[in-house]
Structure 1
Amino acid sequence: MSRIKRDKIEAIGYGFVPAEFLSAGETEYDARFLQNPKKHYYRNLSEDEIAKLEKNNNHSSNWKDVFVTNKFHPELIENSKFYGLIHIGDMDAIYLEYRDLKLTSGIYNSQIISSDIGDYVAIHNVRYLSHFIIGNEVMLMNINEMETSNSAKFGNGMVKVGEIEERRVQLELRNENGGRKIVPFDGMQAADAYLWTQYIGDHELQQRFLDITENEFSRKRGFYSTIGDRCVIKNSGILKDVKIGDDAYIKGVNKIKNVTVNSTEKAYTQIGEGCELVNGIIGYGCRVFYGVKAVRFFLSSFSQLKYGARLINSFLGDNSTISCCEVLNSLIFPAHEQHHNNSFLCASMIKGQSNMAAGATVGSNHNSRAADGEIVAGRGFWPGLCVSLKHNSRFASYTLIVKGDFLHELDVRIPFSLVSLDVANDELIVVPGYWFLYNMYALMRNTNKFLSRDKRQLKHQYLEYEILAPDTVNELFSSLTEIEVAVGRSFHPNELNQEILKVHGKQILDSNTSLVGQEILLLDTEFSKRKVKLIKVREGYSILKQMIIYYSSVQIIDYLKTHSYAELQILIENIKYQKRSVFENVGSQLIRKNDLKNLLDRIKSKEINSWKFVHKTYHYLSDAYPIHKLEHAIISLQEISEVPYTNWNQDFLHTIFDDCESTKEWILSEIYKSREKDYVNPFKAMVYESYEEMEIVIGKLEDNAFINQQRQELEDFKRDLQIIKEKLI
């Protein structure tokens, strides 16, 4: 039960930190002065200045604790009250303007308690402002309450002196049971959240993550809320325990409590009407608008929450957008799109470059015996319209799921595939390589789209947006084996040896043996008794092999643009006995498994003692990633071509490069054809009076910017390739 306390009015603004939480020699102002070292010479008010202030209907219980600079203008303060230790910066008879808002500098109709006010600030109608440090040229207008508690943490998952562990803010990611909960901190990256949740069974590592996080922050009480320079905050309800960076723009919010809002002049954050944000951290350059509700959340830089989105107990990676819908208990890597009112995402780890369609419900499994389990999806995950998925399920990269209720757990291991229901026959259908075969336009456009949306100011961490990369190529290799085994089993149903089935299946797929009428099934793909059928098998198998060769060739060609053939030979010589490396998607950064193990071992051995050095390791591995990727491509090419390194010569490379050029031409052709469908389909055209009207509305096909960009890239590629071929000669 809450209790109203009574004290003398002279006590307002003092005793911010209770005495029991102060060590010998400490004062309640130590943290404040540490946060905001004095930049000015501050002096007491003169008797004349006090008289002018009181004449303007201002009041203080102790004018001696109100300090000002020599650029003080008492006439710029009206109808305001001051309690506790106050510092007021330089003032002048000016007005501040932001967009259409113009406010006279000074303090009007406000109540200020124990706060530092910066230079040339405009404070109008702030009913209660307590224990804040306000920057320079800040505009505050029509705010009900700006308050700070002595145990303020600003969204970071720490506990202050005297607090119990239950007060710690934690994010319960990937699982509703809280079994993968982590401690958020300002500066956290998707990679950090991934490592913390992924290795939950390593208790020593978990303790080290907690230790290095706690070392980032002081457990002392008494830190003030801060408003950075040139911020504009207007027409808002409650701001409590906040740390707001420079140039932020906040208007019409209901409540922001225990939140850090990162913002700079070049990457300013905006928060708009009707939002309620509690226990969270917001990255640089974010946009949060129109009725958003976020609780226990992390919003990474250059991401957006809009139109009533609900983000609860979740981590959203960089360059992502969530609007209208609800997301709970999820870890989402960068470049995620979810903007339909009736989509729902719960208890999932989505590894980036993903898109949730309208009506998709990934989670909501409350008819089971327990809370939701988990869904793990590789990058490029796309559950289509009205898809309902059951926990626990796992999906390879770039899995596209057709409308339907999937009532059983799924383990789809073939990337770039289409998964659909054959309701009439009660079968699950998988089309391997669907994206390459039937929707090249959308697939290839993804890379350009995500690159253009990557607004990070400092790109020290290499986020992989290419559809063909070590992670997806490794999945392609595994898929080839799975398809081969499935085909072999179809022709030899009594054979149990997987290696023998693989050999048989490969021979059949590489030959002219007809697959017509042959039922090819996948095992262990759905937790049910019904069939999981592979279709378009030879086409899919062939295109997956072709894309591996294409990926490898492109990496080698890119290397030869800036290196000699001799350097390539040395590189091949150094790696010719290596096996294809396993890469792990660590928050959209691909890291070799051995390098990742080394990082985790260094954390456990206390060689790495801060997140700063963890992030430096990410940056170091990012610098090394292009060569790691090239090595992976070279090893992949030997494996898929079945030509040993010893037989690699200039003729071999010429052949590979010619194939690569042909594939790139084919890709352009498929991009064009997949987009052309919208122009030649009579049902697409029937709502227009004429073809000319359709072109006015949707644009001319020949003016399509992406297709024209791809044409230019093909020409540039051919030119570069010709130069490389001549160098080889």
Structure 2
Amino acid sequence: MEKIRNLRPEEIALLQSQGCHAENWENVIVPVVFETKYIYNVRFSGTVILGAFEKEFTLPGGVRKHSGLKNTTLHNCMLGDNVLIENTHNYIANYRIQDNCFIENVNVIVVDGQSSFGNNVLVSVLNETGGREVPIYDWLSAPMAYVIALYRHRPKLIERLQELIAGYTRKITSDYGIIGENSKIINTGTIRNINIGKHVTIENCTRLENGTVNSNEKAPVYIGDSVIAQDFIISSGAVIADAAKIIRCFIGQACHVTHNFSAHDSLLFSNCSFENGEACAIFAGPFTVSMHKSSLLIAGMYSFLNAGSGSNQSNHMYKLGPIHQGIVERGSKTTSDSYILWPARIGAFSLVMGRHHHHSDTSDMPFSYLIEKDDETYLVPGVNLRSVGTIRDAQKWPKRDKRTDPNRLDMINYNLLSPYTIQKMLKAVDILTNLQTLVGETSEIYYYQNTRIKGSSLQNALKFYRMAINKFLGNSLIKRLEGTQFSSIEEVRRQLVPTTAEGAGEWVDLSGLILPKDQLDGLIEHIENGQINTLEMAEAFFHLTHQSYYDMEWTWAYRKIEEYYGIRLNEITAEKIIELVEIWKSSVIGLDELLYKDAKKEFSLTSMTGFGVDGTRKEKEEDFEVVRGAFEQNPFVTAVKEHISTKRALGDELIGRMNRICNPEG
């Protein structure tokens, strides 16, 4: 803003003739170059600082309106340049309104006393009755929230993090709010104690109380019709619209909460999409999706979840109230009308079908189906590894990352196979082989963690898991040796030596961020002893760990290759590498062929039911092909076939290089 001055007597007279009033005209401050002709029927109180009114806004449909003030009351406000405020039914008090803002037909915009704008609001996530409260703040990430919610057995850690969040909150607490430049607020009811970032659009909204809208030019936020929000933080790129209701919630970057969805005491992280249903005390990691009217997500932790219509959980058994919680690990799906009685834990990339009352824990059986039969939970381990839907999901998530903000809060690892899932498969193989040994290989039913496994399912699971383990370990080995030429086996061995010591032990999934547990333990100790003493330092750790993923993944894979195949990589021969690549090739191609067969089911005659509605079988097939395309031309099918030939060529190329070491003369 340019230099400022008081109004001149003639300017005051002009303003009064245009219906304006002031408690004290001395407290109305204007730029040196100032015109009164765009100010009508305005009541000023407290100190009001105005900017210049030089810009014209062009509205949808071609209507033009000049910046200025009309039919409004301003109390203790500072305006930037080229602001338009028109038709405020009550008043605007204690706000700094930045350049180029457009505010029209609002009831009241006020900061009432000291406000932290939603920061340090306690969200009773997972357990509605308390015990896992996460204090939300502007830059909360999914990994940080995971640690606060789930590491309550480290009271000093929780105390230190609560102190850091409280310290940040004190810094941003203020008795005035901000409406960022280029923001638009139209036809809106009450806005009380709200900090509004840049390039926000709020239109036809009912009520916003005690919150922050962290919008910016690269990732604007939209808040639409009939929204009610209270005690919240909304991150950049989010869309909240169509009568959504959020109370005590953190809304992550690029989230969409629309069509009457209601949520309370919930954390929704990047790229979540919620419509129609209800969420209560949930921890929704990245890409959690619930789109259907009758769906209720309650007291659960999810990520990369797809909830079918009518999906439901319950968190009390009519005894001590809603105290139970559940975890559905990454990448899972619930079918229509599925139900889980908490407490329960569902393994990664699983499909839940039917109603489950037996508190199962399938966390060591990833890529499984949980199916209800005669009120019992049947577990089909590993079968999702051959499902075309699982692979399609893994491909679509990176494409559906709608974050446009260069400052990304959540670190998201999209890998289907990682040390996190492979360590579980290795454990699953041990568990299943032990079950076979204890019960006998010919048993029809095996019992595991309140589930039943059919004998045939167990046999198949061992096959699927071993193929996936071979695929991952082979991938890691080939990636390590890719694009390098070797003249001797010693050079190969040197290339295989890990570049970092980190990553050898157990791995964990911090709601999207996959990392070694000892790294997380180190972070926790550093927070507890004060070595990490700012929230920025803790978040920097998550970013750095995410960037180092592949180096640490190889450290883990190096150890596992040695254990799993009973070899020593520092003594490996070219012949042994060729043998491992052949194992990898057959596993990759074997899994791809299973996917190909699964995809083919989508093009069976049964799938054509309803096509060619009034015609012959030939017309049915022709109609299906026009709508769905031919099987061999389907993008996924062609991708699978390409994958088979690419991987075969990749393996053959490495085998060729190893053969040259075996036969240097050849």
Do the structures match in fold with TM over 0.5?
Answer: yes
Distance change in 2, residues 1:186/1:461 (3 Å): closer
Please say if residues 549 and 637 of structure 1, whose CA atoms lie closer than 8 Å, have aligned partners that are also in contact: no
Query: AA paired with 2:477?
Result: I
Aligned counterpart, 1:402:
353
Unaligned runs of 5+ residues in structure 2 are 614-619, 661-666
Asked if the contact 1:111/1:129 (under 8 Å) is kept, the reply is yes
Query: What do the CA deviations read for 1:484-519 (whole angstroms, capped 9, x no partner)?
Result: 11111122xxxxxxxxxxxxxxxx6xxxxxx4xx22
**1:172-191 map, 5 Å:** 172-191=124-143
Deviation at 1:243, TM superposition (A): 1.2
User: Shift of the alpha carbon at 1:93?
Assistant: 5.8
Residue 616 of structure 2 is matched in structure 1 by none
Distance 1:559 1:330 in 2: 40
Query: Where do residues 528-543 of structure 1 align in structure 2 (5 Å cutoff)?
Result: 533=454, 535-543=456-464
Quote the Cα distance in structure 1 between the aligned partners of 2:381 and 2:256: 33
Segment of structure 1 superposing worse, 82-91 or 577-586: 577-586
Aligned to 1:141: 104
Structure 1 residues 532 and 656: CA distance shift in structure 2, 3 A: closer
Q: What's the CA shift for 1:717?
A: 4.2
Shift of 1:475: 0.8
- In structure 2, the residue matched to 1:228 is 180
Residues 96 and 137 in structure 1, CA contact (< 8 A), matched pair in contact too: no
Aligned to 1:195: 147
Structure-to-structure mapping, 1:448-467, within 5 angstroms: 448-456=395-403, 457-458=406-407, 462-467=411-416
Residue in 2 aligned with 1:58?
20
C-alpha distance after superposition, 1:407-426 (max 9, x if no partner): 22111231111111221xx5
CA distance in 1, matches of 2:138, 2:532: 19
Q: Distance in 1 between matches of 2:567 and 2:335?
A: 40
Equivalence for 1:113: 75
Find the counterpart in structure 2 of residue 155 from structure 1: 118
1:669 to 590, 593, 599: 593
Match runs of 1:228-247 below 5 Å: 228-247=180-199
CA distance in 2, matches of 1:294, 1:578: 41
CA distance in 2, matches of 1:114, 1:289: 31
Question: Is 2:14–2:36's contact at 8 Å kept on the other side of the alignment?
Answer: yes
SS in 1 for 2:189: strand
In structure 1, what is the Cα distance between the partners aligned to 2:541 and 2:476? 24
Equivalent-residue separation in structure 2 for 1:660 and 1:613 (angstroms): 40
Report sequence identity in percent.
21
Paired position in structure 1 for 2:553: 629
What is the CA distance between 1:651 and its match in structure 2? 2.1
Q: CA deviation at 1:480?
A: 0.6
TM-score, normalised by the number of residues in structure 2: 0.92
Aligned mates of 2:55, 2:149 — CA distance in 1? 54
Conservation of the 8 A alpha-carbon contact between 2:140 and 2:409: no
2:94 is aligned with 1:131:
yes
* Partner of residue 523 from structure 1, selected from 433, 448, 452: 448
Query: Is it true that 1:660 corresponds to 2:581 in the alignment?
Result: no
Q: Which residues of 2 match residues 211-610 of structure 1 at below 5 A?
A: 211-218=163-170, 222-350=174-302, 352-365=303-316, 367-403=318-354, 405-412=355-362, 413-423=364-374, 427-437=376-386, 439=387, 441-456=388-403, 457-458=406-407, 462-491=411-440, 515=442, 518-525=443-450, 533=454, 535-562=456-483, 569-570=493-494, 572-573=496-497, 580-610=504-534
The AA in structure 1 aligned to 2:324 is G
User: Partners of 2:297 and 2:106 in 1: how far apart?
Assistant: 34
Is the counterpart of residue 75 in structure 1 residue 37 in structure 2?
Answer: yes
What is the CA distance between 1:623 and its match in structure 2?
2.1
Offset of 1:701 from its aligned partner? 3.2
Across the aligned residues of Structure 1 and Structure 2, the Cα RMSD in angstroms comes to 2.4
Normalising by structure 1, what TM-score? 0.84
Gaps of 5+ in 1: 1-38, 158-168, 492-507, 509-514
Gap change, CA 1:249 and 1:633, over 3 Å in 2: same
Q: State how far apart, in whole Å, the 2-side matches of 1:101 and 1:180 are.
A: 51
User: Contact 2:117–2:173 at 8 Å: present in 1 too?
Assistant: no
CA distance in 2, matches of 1:472, 1:570: 28
Residue in structure 1 matched with residue 621 of structure 2 by the alignment: 691
CA gap 1:274/1:93 in 2 versus in 1, 3 angstroms: closer
**Deviation for aligned residue 1:626:** 0.9
**Residue 704 of structure 1 pairs with residue 634 of structure 2:** yes
* Distance in 1, Cα, partners of 2:147 & 2:61: 43
Superposed displacement of residue 54, structure 1: 1.3
Report the CA distance between 1:143 and its aligned residue. 0.7
Counterparts of 2:25 and 2:653, CA distance in 1: 79
SS of 2:34 mapped into structure 1 = coil
**8 Å CA contact retained: 2:500, 2:551:** no
Q: Does 1:122 align with 2:84?
A: yes
CA contact under 8 A between 1:357 and 1:382: conserved in structure 2?
A: yes
Secondary structure, aligned partner of 1:85: strand
Alpha-carbon shift at residue 364 of structure 1 (Å): 5.0
Structure 2 residue 47 is the aligned partner of structure 1 residue 85: yes
Equivalent residue letter for 1:411: D
SS at match of 1:218: helix
Q: CA deviation at 1:216?
A: 1.3
Change in 2 beyond 3 A, CA 1:691/1:200: same
Q: Tell me, in whole angstroms, the C-alpha distance in 1 between the residues paired with 2:187 and 2:501.
A: 66
Instruction: Provide the secondary structure at the position in 1 that maps to 2:556.
Output: helix
**Range with bigger deviation, 100-109 or 565-574:** 565-574
2:229 partner SS: strand
CA distance in 1, matches of 2:653, 2:551: 22
Corresponding residue for residue 207 of structure 1: 159
Would the aligned equivalents of 1:396 and 1:414 in 2 still touch at CA under 8 Å? yes
Residues 268-297 of structure 1: per-residue CA shift (max 9 Å, x gap): 111110110100111111111101010000
1:112–1:629 Cα change, 3 Å: same
d(CA) in 2 for partners of 1:460, 1:344: 27
The SS at the match of 1:603 is: helix
1:650 aligns with 2:578: no
Deviates more, 1:622-631 or 1:706-715: 706-715
The match for 1:494 is none
Distance (Å, rounded) in 1 between the aligned partners of 2:58 and 2:500: 66
Contact 1:215 1:610 in 2 (8 A): no
Distance 1:193 1:578, change over 3 A: closer
Cα distance, 1:433–1:119 mapped onto 2, change above 3 Å = same
- Which stretch of the first structure deviates more once superposed, 466-475 or 382-391? 382-391
In 2: Cα distance, 1:579 partner to 1:294 partner:
39
Alpha-carbon distance, 1:598 to partner: 0.8
Aligned AA (1:134): I
Per-residue CA distance 1:338-383 (angstroms, 9 max, x = gap): 1111111111122x11111111112253523322301012111222
Corresponding letter in the other structure for 1:697? V
Q: Structure 1's 579 and 121: CA in aligned 2 closer, same or farther, altered over 3 A?
A: closer
